[in-house]
Every structure is written in C-alpha cells, then in structure tokens.
Amino acid sequence: MRIVVDGNDGTGKSTLVEALRALGFSVSDRGLPTRMTDDDALADTGDAFYLILDAPVDVCQSRLAQAGKDLSEQYHTREDLTHYRARFREVSRRLRRCREIDSSGTREETLAAALRALEEARLGQPPSPVRRTDI
C-alpha cells in the first residue's frame, strides 16, 4: 500500500514520514490532497492511502517558529493556515482511502494514531473518531 502523508505546514508531516519509513513503510510527503486544496476539479485516483495530519493553527505556528520559519511567509500566516486547515478537512472527505490524524500531540502520539489508522484500513474497519483540538 502506497501511503501519502499530507496536511498543513507545521502539522508534523516530515516527522511522521521519517518514522513510518524507519518502520519499513513506503510513504511520501505531500501529494494529491495538497493539489486538491487549490483545485476542486481534481479527483481521487484511488492509488494511495492518505493520512491527513491536522493540528490547530497555534500549534502549527509554534512548530514553524521553532524550526526557524518566517511566520509571515505564504502558507505560514494565521490566515493561510486557517484557510488550508479547512480545505484539508474538506479534501479528506472526498478521498476514498483516507484517515485524518490529530497531530497536535507528541510525535509518539501522532505515530501511534497513524499506525492505528493504517491497521484499521488494512482490516477494513471504520476509522476511529478524530480527536479534535481546536483551541
């Protein structure tokens, strides 16, 4: 199964991709979901399983700042992060094989949630409820 990890800047995509690769998964950082956030005409090709990471804007900005990123840069502003957070949520509902992961916690918590989602998908189980942190 080809896995694509996607979501807003600062949600922990690169960290999760690295952790999943270390466990032997074939995984990409960003893909169709990112393109779909700006192009409603795009459709799911069905060739991948998508993990959409989600975290509150404050969490994303804090992580971006810790990484030395400019918070006034495109996609890092509060306005852009808010807009694309909503767009990623919309896109996740349009994808056939997709799970949203709350990535506002620790790296370990995000990895555990991703592994749980992958196992549920493998077993054909419905997704676990997404724990939303909107503070």
Backbone φ, ψ for residue 32 (5° rounding): -55, -45
Find the range with the poorest average confidence among 40-44, 97-101, 129-133: 129-133
Residue 132 lies in a domain: no
Residue 53 included in any domain: yes
Q: Could you report the per-residue pLDDT of 104-118, keeping only the tens digit for each?
A: 999 999 999 999 999
DSSP string, 80-123: HHHHHHHHHHHHHHH-SSEEEEE-SS-HHHHHHHHHHHHHHHHH
- Tell me the whole-structure pTM to 2 decimals: 0.90
Residue range of the domain that includes 62: 3-123
β-bridge mates for residue 29, sequence order = 5
Q: Is residue 90 part of a domain?
A: yes
Here the tokens at position 64 are 């971006």
Assign residue 119 the CATH number of its domain: 3.40.50.300
Confidence band (pLDDT; 50, 70, 90) for 28?
very high
Backbone angle region of 30, left / alpha / beta, with phi > 0 → left and psi within -120 to 50 → alpha: left
Q: What would the pLDDT profile of 59-71 be if each residue is shown by its tens digit?
A: 999 999 999 999 9
Q: Which of the four pLDDT bands, split at 50, 70 and 90, describes residue 46?
A: confident
CA dist., res. 127 & res. 125, Å (int): 6
What is the total count of domains within the chain?
1
Instruction: Note whether residue 134 is domain-resident.
Output: no
Asked whether residue 131 is assigned to any structural domain, the reply reads: no
Q: Does 128 score more than 90 pLDDT?
A: no
